[in-house]
């Protein structure tokens, strides 16, 4: 038997193209594995602690006064109201409703002193402003309460 030696000439251009396509193929395979292979079940996700009163965060509710929207922001942790404030309060609204800011500061001070929202005290002269603000705070707190599933 006679064996012939074969000489294969491979151009550098072909080697580079092959290497680039192999790299792209590996990247595509890794991308597909990460996109479709790592699905998490609901049991893997952290559960919401339903024993706490609130889900920690900042919650808002809108209050419409004379075609102007004022947001009431309520900051809560697991069991406490940490603060309440007025957001997007325009100067014209603050001028037309001067009790709004002072009542909100008073409510915030009472809540910081661990007074429940239902037991907040206020003057009879500004009861409607207090009621309006406490209703808005209650709406925001309803968003903060965990839902039972």
Q: Which one has a higher pLDDT value, 78 or 27?
A: 27
pTM confidence score: 0.64
Range of the domain at 137: 57-144
Same domain assignment for residues 28 and 63: no
The burial of 71, by beta-carbon neighbours within 10 Å (0-12 exposed, 13-18 middle, 19 or more buried), is given as middle
Find the CATH number of the domain harbouring 139. Answer: 3.90.1010
Candidate from 1-15, 55-69, 103-117, 127-141 with smallest mean pLDDT: 1-15
Beta-carbon contacts of 89 under 8 Å, excluding residues fewer than 6 positions away, are 70, 100, 101
Q: Which one has a higher pLDDT value, 46 or 9?
A: 9
Chain segment 45-97, per-residue pLDDT in tens: 455 555 778 899 999 999 988 888 999 999 998 888 889 999 988 898 889 99
Same domain assignment for residues 63 and 21: no
Chain segment 28-38, per-residue pLDDT in tens: 999 998 888 76
Same domain assignment for residues 38 and 75: no
Q: For residues 65 and 74, is the Cβ–Cβ distance under 8 A?
A: no
């Amino acid at each position: 038997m006679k064996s012939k030696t074969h000489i294969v000439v491979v151009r550098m251009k072909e080697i580079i193209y092959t290497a680039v396509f192999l790299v792209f193929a590996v990247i595509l395979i890794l991308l597909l594995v990460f996109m479709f292979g790592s699905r998490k079940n609901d049991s893997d996700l952290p559960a919401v602690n339903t024993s706490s009163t609130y889900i920690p965060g900042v919650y808002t509710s809108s209050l419409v006064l004379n075609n102007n929207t004022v947001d009431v922001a309520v900051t809560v942790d697991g069991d406490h109201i940490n603060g309440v404030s007025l957001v997007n309060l325009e100067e014209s609204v603050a001028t037309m409703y001067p009790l709004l800011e002072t009542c909100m500061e008073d409510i915030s001070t009472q809540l910081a002193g661990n007074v429940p929202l239902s037991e907040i005290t206020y003057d009879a002269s500004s009861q409607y402003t207090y009621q309006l603000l406490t209703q808005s705070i209650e709406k925001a707190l309803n968003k903060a309460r965990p839902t039972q599933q």
